[in-house]
């Protein structure tokens, strides 16, 4: 482990890239009206702008992530983590710069696809590299990628207030993020990377035996939790501001901070509880159940306070590691194909990002002022499906795999 200390600055630079990614994943939702105006959206009867086009662009982040996931992982394994990380940084710089220069929704959509692809290439670099640096604490090292995002998403509303208070243009944070991640990319070019761990075999020269992946209804259900869990937090992440405005919250951006705080607490608490013996499948049932109840409370109790409580609870139970635990559970079905199993869950997650947000865009277009509450019901419905999938996995898992 002492030899790995030279890689600690590398880990720090990689975690910082996910800090910026945390902003990139949610900043568009905080400036929907500004972008709708910039991209020529029509004015609604109440004088506000139709922001459905911006939700569609946000959904394109998921499409770019989905398309790139098929090549980013194999690329990282074949050509190296560093090159994958550099590509991710370059694409993210292009996204931040391009999205504020885009003259219309179509051009913005293309840059959003670049942003999604950036996410995939960073995923293929950051997670395996940090697990290879902190070899004895790989799972904790991987969870810190999520923690890095939580910190930036917690701070984002304060950054937004600073920009508004200083009378700076709404594009300021995008410019700063482009510059920050570009500088981080320059550091990544020069920092050392550990050798990739390609095999767990005692004899590294021994050729690994390939085994066919045998799918069952249980393993497919575990993979599909990647879809439902991602839908839960993506719908909330990108539509909570409008709900806060509808319910009269004076500063709807604060929902984001409560959400991020809940997520950060969940990562620490869940890791502790699992270490103490709590089964992953129990969490996969419990957390979505809590989330569904909270979403319905947000629908029926129309008050500013419920938005902040909802932000914290959904941040904790909806985004606090459910997707990562879905990956860990799926890997148990395919112990000799861990990377491929992970890819299946992340592809399901990417499909959710694109399809569910596209549906949310349509609801925003037809739902008028009541659209945020309609999206709450959609979210509760999808999360309920996730609960049913998790219950099925919990009941039948022992029949399919031998739990260690």
Whether 207 is in a domain gets the answer no
Which pLDDT does position 140 carry in this prediction?
A: 67
Co-location of 256 and 298 in the same domain: yes
**3-state SS, residue 306:** helix
Residue 112: pLDDT band (50, 70, 90) is: very high
Q: Looking at the structure, do residues 243 and 179 belong to the same domain, yes or no?
A: no
Residue after which a domain boundary falls, among 167, 195, 223:
195
Residue 203: pLDDT band with limits 50, 70, 90: very low
What are the residues facing 43 on neighbouring strands? 49
- Please tell me the distance from the alpha carbon of residue 21 to that of residue 91, in angstroms, as a whole number: 12
Instruction: Work out the pLDDT band at 391, boundaries 50, 70, 90.
Output: very high
Task: Answer left, alpha or beta for residue 242, where phi above 0 means left and psi between -120 and 50 means alpha.
Answer: alpha
State yes or no: pLDDT of 127 exceeds 70: yes
CA 308 to chain centroid, in Å, comes to 20
Do the Cβ atoms of 196 and 128 come closer than 8 Å?
Answer: yes
- Mean pLDDT across the stretch 267-278? 82
Q: Classify 230 as helix, strand or coil.
A: helix
Nearest to 155 by CA among 17, 254, 237: 254
CA–CA separation, 233 and 311 (whole Å) = 10
pLDDT band at 338 (very low <50, low <70, confident <90, very high): low
Residues 232 and 167 in one domain: no
The verdict on 241 and 371 lying in the same domain is yes
pLDDT, residue 404, reads 36
Question: Residue 301 belongs to what domain range?
Answer: 214-404
Q: To 5 degrees, how large is the angle CA 228–CA 218–CA 340?
A: 75
Domain membership of residue 225 (yes or no) is: yes
Whether pLDDT at 366 is above 80: yes
Other residues' Cβ atoms within 10 Å of the Cβ of residue 6: 12
Count CB atoms within 10 A of the CB of residue 67. 16
The answer to whether 116 touches 134, Cβ cutoff 8 Å, is no
Average pLDDT on 361-366 reads: 87
More confident residue, 222 or 399: 222
**Range of lowest pLDDT (110-124, 148-162, 291-305, 371-385):** 148-162
- Same-domain pairing of 159 and 260: no
Q: Are residues 118 and 246 in the same domain?
A: no
**317 & 375 share domain:** yes
Residue 68 belongs to a domain: yes
Contacts of 36 (CB under 8 A, 6+ apart): 49, 50, 51, 53, 54
Mark whether 220 and 178 lie in a shared domain. Answer: no
Return all residues near 402 (Cβ < 8 A) that are at least 6 apart: none
203, part of any domain: no
Contact in structure between 112 and 61 (CB atoms under 8 Å)? yes
Same structural domain, 219 and 101:
no
- Work out how many domains the chain is built from and give that number: 2
Give CA–CA dist 352/354, Å, rounded: 5
Asked if 188 and 233 sit in the same domain, the reply is: no
Instruction: Provide mean pLDDT across the span 1-9.
Output: 75
> When comparing pLDDT for 14 and 37, which is higher?
14
Mean predicted confidence (pLDDT) in 360-388: 92
Q: At which of 143, 167, 195 does a domain end?
A: 195
Q: Which helix (H) or strand (E) holds 328?
A: helix 322-333
Q: Which of 195, 225, 241 is the last residue of a domain?
A: 195
Residue 2 lies in a domain: no
| Whether residue 236 is found in the same domain as residue 340 | yes
In tens, the pLDDT along 163-200 reads: 999 999 999 999 999 999 999 999 999 999 987 654 44
To which H or E segment does residue 106 belong? helix 105-133
Higher per-residue pLDDT: 345 or 301: 301
| 255 in Cβ contact with 249 (< 8 Å) | yes
- Quote the DSSP letter at residue 368: G
- Work out the percent of the chain whose per-residue pLDDT is above 90: 44
The CA distances from residue 252 to 310, 311, 370, 380, in Å, are 12, 10, 16, 21
Q: Alpha-carbon distance 60 to 110, whole Å?
A: 8
CATH of the domain at 142: 1.20.1250.20
268 domain residue, yes or no: yes
Mean pLDDT of the chain: 86
Does 186 share its domain with 244?
no
In a domain, 209, yes or no: no
Domain assignment present for residue 200? The answer is no
Q: Which residues of 209-229 are buried (b: 16+ CB within 10 A; e: fewer)?
A: eeeeeeeeebbebbbbbbbbb
Q: Would you state the pLDDT for residue 200?
A: 44
């Amino acid at each position: 482990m002492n030899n790995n200390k030279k890689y600690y600055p590398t880990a720090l630079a990689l975690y910082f890239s996910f800090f910026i990614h945390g902003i990139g994943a949610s900043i568009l939702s905080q400036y929907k009206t500004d972008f709708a105006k910039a991209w020529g959206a029509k004015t609604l009867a109440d004088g506000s702008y139709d922001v459905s086009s911006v939700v569609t662009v946000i959904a394109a982040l998921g499409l770019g992530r989905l398309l790139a996931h098929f090549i980013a992982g194999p690329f990282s394994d074949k050509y190296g983590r560093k090159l994958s990380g550099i590509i991710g940084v370059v694409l993210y710089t292009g996204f931040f710069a391009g999205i504020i220069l885009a003259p219309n929704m179509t051009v913005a959509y293309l840059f959003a696809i670049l942003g999604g692809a950036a996410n995939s290439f960073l995923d293929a670099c950051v997670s395996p590299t940090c697990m290879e640096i902190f070899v004895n604490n790989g799972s904790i090292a991987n969870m810190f990628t999520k923690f890095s995002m939580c910190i930036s998403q917690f701070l984002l509303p304060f950054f937004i207030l600073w920009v508004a208070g200083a009378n700076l243009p709404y594009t300021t944070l995008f410019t700063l993020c482009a510059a920050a991640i570009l500088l981080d990319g320059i550091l990544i070019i020069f920092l050392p990377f550990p050798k990739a761990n390609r095999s767990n075999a005692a004899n590294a020269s021994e050729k690994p035996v390939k085994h066919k992946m045998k799918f069952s209804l249980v393993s497919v259900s575990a993979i599909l939790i990647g879809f439902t869990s991602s839908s839960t937090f993506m719908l909330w992440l990108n539509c909570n501001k409008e709900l806060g405005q509808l319910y009269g919250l004076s500063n709807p951006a604060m929902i984001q901070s409560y959400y991020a705080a809940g997520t950060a607490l969940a990562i620490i608490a869940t890791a502790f509880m699992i270490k103490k013996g709590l089964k992953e499948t129990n969490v996969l049932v419990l957390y979505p159940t809590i989330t569904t109840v909270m979403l319905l409370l947000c629908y029926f109790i129309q008050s500013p306070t419920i938005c902040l409580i909802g932000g914290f609870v959904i941040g904790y139970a909806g985004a606090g590691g459910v997707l990562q635990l879905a990956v860990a559970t799926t890997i148990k079905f395919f112990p000799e194909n861990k990377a491929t199993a992970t890819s299946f869950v992340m592809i399901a997650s990417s499909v959710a990002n694109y399809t569910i947000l596209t549906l949310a865009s349509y609801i925003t277009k037809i739902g008028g002022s009541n659209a945020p509450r309609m999206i709450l019901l959609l979210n509760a419905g999808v999360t309920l499906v996730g609960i049913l999938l998790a219950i099925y996995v919990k009941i039948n898992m022992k029949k399919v795999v031998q739990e260690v």
